[in-house]
Amino acid sequence: CCESGDMLIWDIDLPTIEAGDILAIFSTGAYNYSMCSNYNRLPKPAMVCIKNKVDRVVVERESYEDMCKNEL
C-alpha cells in the first residue's frame, strides 16, 4: 500500500505469520504489479506463479541496489 491508511482488506482474521510465509491477495484493484512504483522507497515485490502445486518465482524481488541504479 502507499499510505498508512490504505487498506486492501477490512475486518479479516489471519493466523499468526512468520517471515517466509506466503500471503496471496487476488483482487487488489489499482494495487497491481503493472502500476507499482517505488513510492516511499518501497521495493517492488517478487511475483510467484503456482500451478499444479508447483511454485516458481517469475519476477525477483527488487533490491535496494536495483531501486538506486538509475539515480545520479
What one-character-per-residue DSSP string does 3-68 give?
STT--SSSS-------TT--------TT-SGGG---GGGPPPPPEEEEETTEEEEEEPPPPHHHHH
pLDDT, tens only, 29-43: 666 777 777 777 888
* Active-site residue, selected from the candidate residues 2, 36, 49, 68: 2
Between 72 and 47, the higher pLDDT residue:
47
Specify the pTM.
Answer: 0.57
Computed over every residue of the chain, the mean pLDDT equals 82
The full set of domains in the chain, from first to last, is: 1-72 (2.40.37.10)
Hey, what amino acid is at 35?
M
pLDDT confidence of residue 3: 65
Residue 54 banded pLDDT, cuts 50, 70, 90: very high
Q: Is 2 a catalytic residue?
A: yes
